[in-house]
Amino acid sequence: MLVIVCPGQGSQTPGFLSPWLELPGFRDRLQWLSAVAGMDLVAHGTESDAETIKDTAVAQPLIVGAGLVSLLSLFEHPADGFRLVAAGAGHSVGEITAAAAAGVMTAEQAMVFVRERGHAMAEASAVRPTGMSAVLGGDPEQVVATIERHGLTPANMNGAGQVVAAGTLEQLAALKDDPPAKARVIPLKVAGAFHTEHMAPAVDVLAGYARAISTHDARTRLVSNRDGAVVHSGRAMLTRLVEQVRNPVRWDLTMQTFADLGVTGLIEIPPAGTLVGLAKRALPGVETLALKSPEDLPAAHRMIREHGQPGQYGSIVDQPTWRLLIAPVKGTVNVEASAPGATVAPGSVVATVSTLRDTHEVSAPHGGQVLEWLVEDGDPVSPGQPLLRLHPSES
């Protein structure tokens, strides 16, 4: 079982795209996305220095553009990925890459959205000097308590002994001088306190753009970095992309969902390395690959052959997506809707899935007529498992 993961801001390094430009068509595709983004992604990925690509307004389109174009090297035909990949996920801005790869939005829509996201977050960051620091090691509860004691936000819960604190530069300096017991504090090369309330002004901007974006339901499982839930609805995924700029990233829960799915292989697309490092510690036994250059493509193609499983995910890919509701997490299902033939109202809750931590609602975004239940009350379910076929309302 194979997953593809897409890195976030801070993973970029000067010149990381240089070897990729040798591939046929890569430069042309990246120049096309450059036109959409309104900046020269080719130059930023090959010639710009570290300080230039640290700029939020540059880094975010560069990371998403690089990921989208490099993904085409993994699959000759994009539809192959939908059939072979069990799930996709992205860390922070990488979730936009994952959403576009899953068919929620087009590459062009993704580039416009990330362009405006980068500008809005850069403007929010300019209001007051802020930043982020990684806290490595220590007792997880004590780490979070110390971060919050200094007035900071645990903005990235990355698992594998890593939490990222975000806030003002003064707060981060205080944390470095007074760290949690048995922990190291390492400043990160980012230009703001992302995934905190410091980014609230950007949410309003992005919400306006999101209302104008048409979406499609995901063609493979999308694991949300907000809570590790599998999201199928394109509109719900877009809403999460808007809100995530001020909400913490729970990559620890994302990796737990990978474990619940039974993932055996994980490939991280460029600029790769960070997420594979976390997976090696949190997902023992899972084969990982950081796709850093075209030299890694033979290994990636082998992993796709060995870990991809054709036909296993056809319940999501091949069925009309507007007739299918899925389980967001691993747990026990409680069926709340009526029997086949009954009508449910738009937005109504048709089932819940309970885990050891909490309960997740499964709603019918369009409403409609119940065609067929694919589970029974009390059944154990896995993330992304189909629960109900629903014929949507005509209105």
Contact between residue 41 and residue 26 where contact means Cβ atoms under 8 Å apart = no
Active site positions, annotated? 92, 195
Closest CA to 344 of 330, 363, 326: 363
3-state secondary structure at position 286: coil
Token pair of 193 as six digits: 């306190």
Separation CA 255–CA 249 (nearest Å): 12
- Beta bridge partners, 154, equal 165
Sheet containing strand 153-159, edge to edge, reads 153-159, 162-168, 130-137, 183-187
List C-alpha distances in Å: 265 to 1, 157, 185, 261, 390: 6, 22, 31, 11, 33
Contact between residue 374 and residue 308 where contact means Cβ atoms under 8 Å apart = no
Contact between residue 13 and residue 63 where contact means Cβ atoms under 8 Å apart = no
**H or E segment and range at residue 83:** helix 78-84
Q: How many CB atoms lie within 10 A of CB 342?
A: 9
Residues in the chain: 395
Query: Which letter, b or e, does each residue of 146-180 get, where b requires 16 or more Cβ atoms within 10 Å of its Cβ?
Result: bbeebebbbbbbbbebbbbbbbbeebbebbbeebb
